[in-house]
Each structure stands twice: as structure tokens, then as C-alpha cells.
Structure 1
Amino acid sequence: MALPVGQQAKYWGIATAIFLVALWFLGDVILPFVLGGAIAYCLDPIADRLERAGASRVAAVAIITLVAVFIFVLLILLVIPTLVEQTASLIDTAPELFDRLRNGLTERFPQLLDDQSTVYKQLLSIGETIQAKGGELVNGIVSSALGLLNILVLIVIVPVVAVYMLLDWDNMTAKIDEMLPRDHVETIRALGRDIDATLASFIRGQGTVCLVLGTYYAVALMLAGLNFGLIVGFIAGLITFIPYVGAIVGGMLAVGLALFQFWGSIEVVDGDIVTYATNWLRIGIVAGIFGLGQFLEGNILTPKLVGGSVGLHPVWLLFALSVFGTLFGFVGMLVAVPIAAMIGVVARWGVSQYKDSLLYRGKSGSD
């Protein structure tokens, strides 16, 4: 005989409270294990495919580890130093960009931007503020990241945890399945499959879309000759999980930088006035890169990699990231996506149960 519903709810409520308290107090301690588990979850389908191709589990994990080490070394040697350098250079160049904007507006609208006007003074102070606060922001982010993700965690603990969890992933899921309440095992399995499908669509599918588009934007913008193309591509790819926002924000930032870089100007060199023509072709190429990226995302990448329905609304996802990030820090942001997926799946299941109940249909049972 099953336990009463009220008693079951009490036990599950206590378990949830214990989980949240442990997350609150052990956030920094469990961080490498959460990261390792997330990496193992993302790589498990690749290991399964290698096993179906004839490799053993150990050989599959060894192949994945070697490829991951190669990619990590490549990023450390090539991409990350350039990314940091372009970020610092963009912050240092921001005052100059605003000076050009102020000078251009002064040439075209002199009556609006005299030396005593509020707009002129505001534009003058924006560049100085960005240069002063931008450096502090970058230093704060770097110092916080180093305090949270120290070198030992990044290089040793997380990869080791990920490798061991990837080796034992099937065994762990089987053990968890054995511990499910027998009266609700089929319902929990169905919910688990829905949660896994949602997470697979978002984390694996949408994450791959973000990686592909970020790489495309960065490489294409750098080939187009745009300064800071790598950092713009990184930003655009990072927020691509929000529909249209990544292309819009990245496109506006890239086109704005292209206007500053390729817009015609007048400069006095050794007493001679030199006029630089506006390179409309370069500006159009930068805009076309994001137009093509949006086409690829909507017609090829998202349908193929993500599917028709992710199950996580962007607003709900941002809300979960904000709440868990505020309450539990960086670890909270890591667990926000799976918890949001679980809540969403359980909520949809609850709605379907409600629509099948007498509370919704009434005694007549009519639709």
C-alpha cells in the first residue's frame, strides 16, 4: 500500500530543502563535481556512439579525452590570449571611438553640440567613464573567476571528475533507477525522459548552435578586417541561445564598430587636410555576415541540432539563471538550466494531469 499523498509530499519537500541547504553551504566545494557532471552529460552521447561503432567504454573515453586535451591546448595557445588582448584593447579604444562620434556629430550638427551643451559634455564623459570603469570591471571579473575557478580546479579536478563520471555514467543511471519509488517508477521514468530530451535539446543542441555561430561570426569578422572581430563573435555566440538577440546585439555592435573604422573622416596631417572616403563595401560585408548567420541559424542549425521545441522559454531560462545565480552564485547558474528544465517538465505534466481530472472536466466528463 502506497504512502498517503500528504506524507509523500512531506518527504519530498524535506529532500528538496536539504538539497537547497547543501547547495547554499557547499557551493564552492561541489563546483568541480557539478562541472564534471555537466561535461560528462554532454559527452555521454559521443561515448555511446563510439561504443556502438565497436569501441569499448574505456577506449571511447580515452579518445574523447585526447581530443578534448588537444582542443584545450589549442584554445590556450591561440584563442584565449587574442580574446583577452582584444577585450583590453576595446576598452582602451572606447574613448577614441566616442571622440570620433562627438567630432562627427559636431561637424554635422554644430548648433546642438557646442562646448557648453549637455549632450557634448555627456559624450565627453562617456569615454572617460568606460575607460576608468571598464578596466576595473575586467579586473574584478578576472579576479573573481580566478578565486572561484582556480588553476587546480580547471586543470586537475574537473577533468578527472568528468572522466570518471563519463566512464561510470551508465552504471550511475542504472543505480539511480533502482532507487526510484516502485509505485511511481514509470511516471518518474517518463518525466526523466522528457527532462533529458529538454536538456539534450538545449544544452547539447543550442550549445552547439552557439559554438558554431560564435566561431563563424568571429572568423568572418576577422577576415572582413573588422577590429575586435573575435570579441564581437564571442559575445554574439554567447547570447545566441536567446532567439534573435544574439544576432541583433552582435550585429549592432559589429556595424557600429565598422562605422567607426570605415567611415570617412577629415584629418590634418603635417598641415595638409587629408580626406578619407567611406568604405561602404566593408560596412555592407559586416552587416551581411550577420544576415547570413541569422539565415543559417533559423533554416539549418536550429532545425537540425535543436529541433522544433526546446521546452525552455528564454524568459523562463533568464529568470532561473538570475534567481539561482543570485542565491547560490556560480554553482547556482550551473544548476539553473537542469532545474528549470525539471520544473518545466513537471509543470507541463501537472497541467496534463489537471486537464484529465474531475477538477477540470467536472462530473460530466465532457471536454
Structure 2
Amino acid sequence: MFDWLRKWYTNKFSDPQVVALFLMLLMGFLSLYWLSGMLAPVLVSIAFAYLLEWPVSRLCQMGASRSVSTTVVVLGFMGVLILALMWVVPLAWYQGRNLLRDLPQMIELGRTYLLELPELLPGMVSEEQILLMMHTVDERVMAFGRQMLSMSLASIVDLVALLIYLVLVPVMVFFMLKDKTQLTTGLIQFLPNERQLITQVWHEMNVQIMNYIRGKMLEILIVGVCSYAVFSLFGLNYALLLGMLVGFSVLIPYIGAAVVTLPVALVGLFQWGFSAEFGYLMLAYGVIQALDGNVLVPLLFSEVVDLNPVYIIIAVLFFGGLFGFWGIFFAIPLASLVKATANAWSTRLGPVEKVETS
């Protein structure tokens, strides 16, 4: 056993390129783990820079300079984003306030339905179980209310942070796009001379990250807009707010779709009860989720997501626990990075293997 471990260690870590790749990954993960809060504006800027690199490159191919292309794309993107936020945020805020106002009535209606379960399912559900579950829900709601109160008290700090993001992030995105070559050259100087393996993994991941961010933004937009249109067509209350929740739920593969189903079902149940309208709503919502998972995701991420769903869920839980929101957002690229590193690592032959095979 120990002899096999010694041979494995000698084969894999005797190559200086493998050691360099391992150290680079270790330093990167440790930096994100310890400095993720401080680096949050940088991570946001990198995500937007990857998103806008494609239109900037297309304008450069049409003959425009890098500076002009970056200026046009960044200004256009910021203008569209500001106009969208001016319409979406006030309406979503108004619907959210109405939802909080109606929440006690929705909870009371839920109690009524739950208390009817022992009669509908005799022998399977007891009244004591229902009361215990309602007590747990009350505790959760009270904890959520305290959390919302603490968040409102810290709103001034959040407002200052938001203002910093609104100024700092566009500036960083602009210079990341305009000075891409200079920044890349400067980073390469810090890499070791033996960096062929690092370059191989980086080129593979650079394309995957760009495709993933662009595809994920398109998926959020398409799913959110389609959900809002369907909810509005049915006349569902809080249609914009729920549509936004469904759109952003795609950030968490599989888990997000399951979690966001609860508020959609509760609002529909509160508005219509167990009626045909409620059934049609849930059927349409199920069609949206099915089209997203079976048509849109394979179309947008055919070159990125080559992972089993079990590995994706494990990656979401693992990297989300380590890095928070950004770990969830980049869970699939990080899992792909682990896979690409393992593939590149396994193809390297150490000196012991070379001697034995020769």
C-alpha cells in the first residue's frame, strides 16, 4: 500500500508543471476563501467583463479600435441596464410590499388547508403532526421577520456598498475590457517558466467560463421573461416578482427550481384555491421548467455542462458552502475546472512510469 502511494506521488508530483498547476489552484482557492468579501467587486467586474467580451470582439473584427468598441459596449449595456432597473425595481418593490402585507392571510389559509388533511388522509396524517408542523412554520416566520428587521437597520451600510458598486464596477469592467492584452501579459509574468500545463487548463476554462456566463445571463433573461408573461396571462398576483424569482432560480441548478416552486404554488393557491385555474397555472409552470431543463440548457450549455447532475449538485453545495453566492454562481465552471485539471493531470507521465514502460 505505502509502496503504491510512494510510486503514485513520485509519478504525479515529480513533474514541475504538475506542481506549478497544483500550487496555482491552491493559492487561487485560498485567496477566494479568505478574501471573497473584499474581492466581491472584482468578481462582479470579471463576470460582466466576460459577458461583454463577445460584443467588444465583434466590433473589433468590424474595424473599430479596442477603446472605441469597449466604450460603445459598456455605455450601451449600462444604459439598457439602468432603464430596465428604473422600470423593474419600483414595480418589484411594490409587489413585494403587497406580498408581505398579504402574507398573514396566506399563512392562515395554509393553516385551514393543513387542518383538513387528517380528514382527507385518515390514518396517514394526524392532527398532532399538523400542529407540530404549524408551530415550526411560525418559528421560521418569526425568525425571518427578525432577519428582515436587522437587514432594514443595516440598509444604510448596504446603500453605501451599492453606490460603491455602481461607480467602481463599471470603471473596472471598462479597463478590464480595454486593457485586456496588457492585463493578461502582466499576469503571465507572475507565472513560472514551466507553465504548459497551466496554459492548457486555462485555455480550456477561459472558453468555458465565457460561454457559461453568457449562457447563464441569457437563461435568466429568457426564463424570467417567459415566466412573467405566463403569470401575467393567468392574472397571477405579484407576477413580476415571481417571474424574477423564477428567472434567478436558474443560478442554482436543480435546487433553485425546486425551491421557487413553493412561492408560486402558495400565491396561486391563495388566489384561486384548489381550482382549475390553479391546476392550469402549475401545468404551465411545469412546462416552463421542462423546456428550460430539456431544451434551453442543452442549447446554451452544450459545450460547457458535460457533468452528471449528481456532480453538479455536489459542486453547488460544496462551492456554495465555501464561497457563498459566487461559489453557487460559478459552481459548474469550478466543477469543470476540477475535471479539466484531473484530465490534464492524468495524462502526464512521471519518470517512474516512463522508465517502467521503456
Query: Shorter chain as normaliser: what TM range?
Result: 0.7 to 0.9
- Per the alignment, residue 202 of structure 1 pairs with 212
Change (3 A) 1:171 1:7: closer
Once the two structures are superposed, residues 27-71 of structure 1 have per-residue CA deviations (whole angstroms, 9 ceiling, x without a partner) of: 433322222122112211121012223332222222222222223
Amino acid in the other structure paired with 1:162: V
Native 8 Å contact 1:96 1:127 kept in 2:
no
Native 8 Å contact 2:17 2:198 kept in 1:
no
- My pick for the range that moved more, 292-301 or 221-230, is 292-301
Number of residue equivalences = 341
**Higher RCO (Cα < 8 Å, 6 or more apart):** 2
Structure 2 unaligned regions, length at least 5: 1-12
CA shift, 1:25, in A, is 5.2
User: Is 1:223 equivalent to 2:233 in the alignment?
Assistant: yes
Q: How does 1:132-211 map to 2 (within 5 A)?
A: 132-140=142-150, 143=154, 146-147=157-158, 150-177=161-188, 180-185=191-196, 187-211=197-221
Matched residue SS, 2:221: helix
Change (3 A) 1:229 1:117: same
Once the two structures are superposed, residues 252-290 of structure 1 have per-residue CA deviations (whole angstroms, 9 ceiling, x without a partner) of: 5423432331127xxxxxxxxxxxxx4x1x224412432
Change (3 A) 1:289 1:141: farther
Change (3 A) 1:209 1:13: closer
- My pick for the range that moved more, 237-246 or 62-71, is 237-246
Change (3 A) 1:263 1:190: same
- Per the alignment, residue 9 of structure 2 pairs with none
Once the two structures are superposed, residues 83-107 of structure 1 have per-residue CA deviations (whole angstroms, 9 ceiling, x without a partner) of: 3343444344333223223334556
CA shift, 1:217, in A, is 0.9
- Per the alignment, residue 298 of structure 2 pairs with 303
CA shift, 1:162, in A, is 1.0
Once the two structures are superposed, residues 1-20 of structure 1 have per-residue CA deviations (whole angstroms, 9 ceiling, x without a partner) of: xxx93766666666555555
- Per the alignment, residue 224 of structure 2 pairs with 214
Q: Distance in 2 between matches of 1:27 and 1:250?
A: 27
Change (3 A) 1:46 1:26: same
- Per the alignment, residue 6 of structure 2 pairs with none
CA shift, 1:347, in A, is 1.3
Q: Distance in 1 between matches of 2:149 and 2:301?
A: 36
Q: Distance in 2 between matches of 1:165 and 1:206?
A: 21
Native 8 Å contact 1:94 1:127 kept in 2:
no
- Per the alignment, residue 76 of structure 1 pairs with 85
- Per the alignment, residue 351 of structure 1 pairs with 346
Change (3 A) 1:257 1:23: closer
Provide the aligned C-alpha RMSD in A.
4.0
- Per the alignment, residue 10 of structure 2 pairs with none
Native 8 Å contact 1:28 1:331 kept in 2:
no
CA shift, 1:23, in A, is 4.2
TM-score calculated relative to the size of structure 1:
0.74
Amino acid in the other structure paired with 2:268: A
Q: How does 1:104-119 map to 2 (within 5 A)?
A: 104=113, 106=115, 117-119=127-129
Native 8 Å contact 2:250 2:257 kept in 1:
yes
Q: Distance in 1 between matches of 2:163 and 2:39?
A: 14
User: Is 1:290 equivalent to 2:285 in the alignment?
Assistant: yes
CA shift, 1:221, in A, is 0.9
Change (3 A) 1:359 1:94: farther
- Per the alignment, residue 102 of structure 1 pairs with 111
Q: Distance in 1 between matches of 2:99 and 2:183?
A: 47
Structure 1 unaligned regions, length at least 5: 265-277
Change (3 A) 1:126 1:215: farther
Q: Distance in 2 between matches of 1:219 and 1:357?
A: 62
Q: Distance in 1 between matches of 2:18 and 2:159?
A: 36
Change (3 A) 1:154 1:8: same
TM-score calculated relative to the size of structure 2:
0.75
- Per the alignment, residue 246 of structure 2 pairs with 236
CA shift, 1:338, in A, is 5.0
